[in-house]
Structure 1
Amino acid sequence: MSIWPTAAAVLVLAACTPVREEAVVTPKVEGAVPGALAGPEWEVFEVAGEPAPQVTMQFAAGRIFGKGGCNRYTGPVRFPGGDRREGAIEVGPVAMTMMACPEPAMAVEQRFAKALEQVQTYALAADGTLVLSGAEGPLLRARRAAT
């Protein structure tokens, strides 16, 4: 007995089945970073109102990374602004390397890590300063690193 008559019948029946048109849904790209934040490194100059030497941030493909004053860090970042409110940002959890460093670098780094995970919104000031804020107000201020 040959399989060909059965295969031909299946093809004929499949060809007669009506095709439903479905709406095309474009998936939301969670890893997208707003153009104003993407690109060169940001130098953080203030953490919770205090100076922040040697702290950097960079945004790319759904990640935030940089130097916390002593150690390197990385973590996920999302920008759900279109879904809820303009300038919304969600960061963390953040992972850091664990080198011991002298003070005040360790204290700056601890403040930075705590502030970073509390960030809820971002805004670019008229002078180009990036301001990351939490529920109580500004947490981090940064400017583009000199190229």
Structure 2
Amino acid sequence: MKSSLALSLLALLSLTGCNALNTQPATESHIEGQWSLQQFYLQGSLVELGERTRLQIMAEDEHSGRLSGNAGCNGFFGAYRVDNGKFSTGPIGATMMACPDDLMTQEQQFLKALEQLTSFSYDGQTLKLQDESGQVKILMAPE
């Protein structure tokens, strides 16, 4: 009897452990780090941005911190706040280097999208930043 109970408990623990490896709930700690842009969506369409687009998120405490990066041409910076999967930024500032017009337009759209994000999720490989309708706007991968 004891051995069958022990085997049942061992089987339950191993199944729980496997499941825990496959899913990661979005927590504030998952958002901190260095990220490179994978995809950016504007009005439901995929927008190509330069390979230099990066985002760094640095926590100052468990619910807020600073973000910075490169939007393709110019550097940007600002503050963020997270709480229970909700994400918000303060105003985003940026340097003002001269770049080709099309790159500047895309960059401005990316920075505007950052300010409109309201939630995030993390699946262990991709950070998904969503707007208030739940649409994924930005997909980032860890560097």
TM-score range, shorter chain: 0.5 to 0.7
Partner-residue secondary structure (3-state), 2:98: coil
Correspondence for 1:108: 106
- Contact 1:44/1:140 (<8 A) preserved: yes
Pick the aligned partner of 2:121 from 120, 123, 127: 123
Structure (1 or 2) with the greater strand fraction: 2
Moved beyond 3 Å, runs of 4+:
none
Structure 1, unpaired ranges of 5+: 1-32, 82-86
- Quote the sequence identity (%): 30
Q: After the TM superposition, which residues 75-90 of structure 1 pair with which residues of structure 2 at under 5 Å, given as runs?
A: 75-81=78-84, 87-90=85-88
**Structural RMSD (CA):** 1.7
For this pair of structures, how many residues does the alignment match? 106
C-alpha displacement of 1:108:
2.1
Pick the aligned partner of 1:45 from 13, 38, 49: 38
TM-score (norm 2): 0.68
Structure (1 or 2) with the greater helix fraction: 2
C-alpha displacement of 1:106:
1.3
C-alpha displacement of 1:103:
4.2
Partner-residue secondary structure (3-state), 2:48: strand
TM-score (norm 1): 0.66
Q: Does 1:132 align with 2:129?
A: yes
The structure, 1 or 2, with the larger RCO (C-alpha pairs under 8 Å, 6+ apart) is: 2
- Contact 1:45/1:52 (<8 A) preserved: no
**Post-superposition CA distance 1:1-55 (Å, at most 9, x none):** xxxxxxxxxxxxxxxxxxxxxxxxxxxxxxxx9221223x100122212222221
- Contact 1:71/1:97 (<8 A) preserved: yes
